[in-house]
Amino acid sequence: MKNEIITSVAAAAVMAWSLGGVQAQESEKTGKAEAAKEARERDSSSKDRRARIMRAFDRNKDGDLDEEERGALRRYIESRSSRSGGEKNRDDKIEVPKDYDPKKKYPFILSLHGYGSSSRGQLRFFPLEDLAEKHDFIYCAPDAVDRSWNATEACCDWRGKVDDSKYLRGLIESAVKKYSIDRSRIYVTGLSNGGFMSYRMAHDHSDLIAAIVPFAGVGYKTWPSKPKKPVSVLHIHGTKDSTIKWNGGTTRSSSTSYPGAEENFNNWKQFNQCGREVDAKDDKIDLTRKVPGNETTVTRFQNKDGSVTTELWEVVDGSHVTRPSGEARELIIQWLLNKKKP
């Protein structure tokens, strides 16, 4: 009898253990199923929210966002996620080649993002890491406060709360103290608002900046003064840019006019005393994959001794964010590195 009782208890224990395992497995399966369902619901909710936002900014209701509509969307996102706190939040890491040698002198390139973008966004537009290794230069792509450079009243000095000209000068001087940088080969490039800021740096710090390469960004229509020293300029602009228009205009957030690409080019041609045209009719460039063929024409002027260049790359049918191809980036970097402070 005792053996039968023991056997029954043991059997019950085994059954309970088995049921517990099954229940645990079922519970785990149920948990996973519920988690998957919640994930699908979150994903669906997120997609619905994105769709609603897209519809809200699709003003002409064509199912797609044009450049102006995308710009409005970027400003909305920036207003929701902009950071405050000033200089301490900036990402201004200096990048040096892997084989950096303090006994050598290196060029320095400052790369400035567009309005609403960031350091990472700029380095996606114009990657510099591989080029820095190949051509031995140091670079930095800093963040603007609230994703906007305080360049001009037209773009984008709408709050006037940050002296970016002073900040960027200080950043360069700090890099020069920390690393072995050739002071005669300091350059600035930038997209859109970063292009405006490139011109501001060339004007305010013409004693320091050797050359600039602005994309789709210009300077003042009427500059408050002339730069004290010449600064070589390579201006790159799409003829179908609907944000910073080829022929000039105003931005949606400012009533202050900015100059057209050719007017801006002529201003800097005069500043740099580049009165000698260099024949560049055969220098057609395939800048971007977005436009077929060698779509970019070149206009080049130099000063008397050829030490300063003012150059315009007209990207025929190019839009606002015309990302240069790898081959074009190589040409642009070579153009910069060949310039030295006279």
pLDDT in tens, 42-90: 555 555 666 766 677 676 677 777 666 666 666 555 444 444 344 446 7
- What is the spatial distance between Cα 129 and Cα 149, in angstroms, rounded to a whole number? 23
Question: What does the pLDDT read at residue 50?
Answer: 64
Question: What does the pLDDT read at residue 76?
Answer: 55
Closest CA to 95 of 50, 150, 142: 142
- pTM value is 0.75
Residue 115 has pLDDT above 50, yes or no: yes
Residue 142 has pLDDT above 90, yes or no: yes
Contact 235, 262 (CB under 8 A): no
Residue 285 has pLDDT above 70, yes or no: yes
CA distances from 57 to 51, 60, 66, 216, 289 (A): 10, 9, 10, 23, 28
Question: What does the pLDDT read at residue 162?
Answer: 87
Question: What does the pLDDT read at residue 18?
Answer: 42
Contact 118, 143 (CB under 8 A): yes
Mean pLDDT of the chain: 84
Q: Which fold has domain 70-337?
A: Rossmann fold (3.40.50)
pLDDT in tens, 10-54: 444 443 444 344 444 444 444 555 555 655 655 555 556 667 666
Q: Which residues pair with 274 in a beta bridge?
A: none
